């Protein structure tokens, strides 16, 4: 959910027991490999040895897109930056999210 599950929210939610993992807001991938700063903005946990919330809950990086070549390039970029796993989001029925009529 865009604009809802940032690092602060992940931290607050995972203080409560019961979470096995959490996910970032989606990183929108269109047609190019994104620079590292975009990944760090969505997942500041990448800057730490363990990509997890302060309470130790793993954070999975979510990519949103429809171009398989661009998604693959960005997945490799995320893994190079230390992402533990990639959550692929191939689209959402919401017109605003897909930016299509």
Give which of 37, 34, 36, 19 is closest to 64, Cα–Cα.
34
How many CA atoms lie within 13 Å of 55's alpha carbon, on the beta-carbon side?
17
Rounded distance between C-alpha atoms, residue 69 and residue 5, angstroms: 26
Q: 33 near 77, Cβ under 8 Å?
A: yes
d(CA 87, CA 25): 10
Residue 58 in tokens: 């793993």
92 catalytic residue (yes or no): yes
Q: Which of 32, 68, 92, 98 is catalytic?
A: 92
Which residues are designated catalytic? 92
């Amino acid at each position: 959910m865009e604009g809802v599950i940032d690092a602060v929210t992940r931290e607050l939610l995972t203080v409560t027991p019961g979470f096995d993992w959490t996910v970032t807001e989606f990183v929108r991938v269109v047609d190019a490999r994104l620079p590292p700063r975009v990944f760090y903005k969505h997942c500041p946990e990448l800057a730490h040895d363990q990509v997890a919330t302060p309470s130790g809950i793993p954070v999975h990086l979510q990519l949103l897109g429809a171009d398989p070549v661009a998604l693959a390039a960005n997945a490799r970029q995320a893994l190079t930056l230390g992402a533990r796993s990639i959550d692929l989001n191939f689209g959402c029925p919401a017109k605003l999210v897909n930016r299509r009529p």
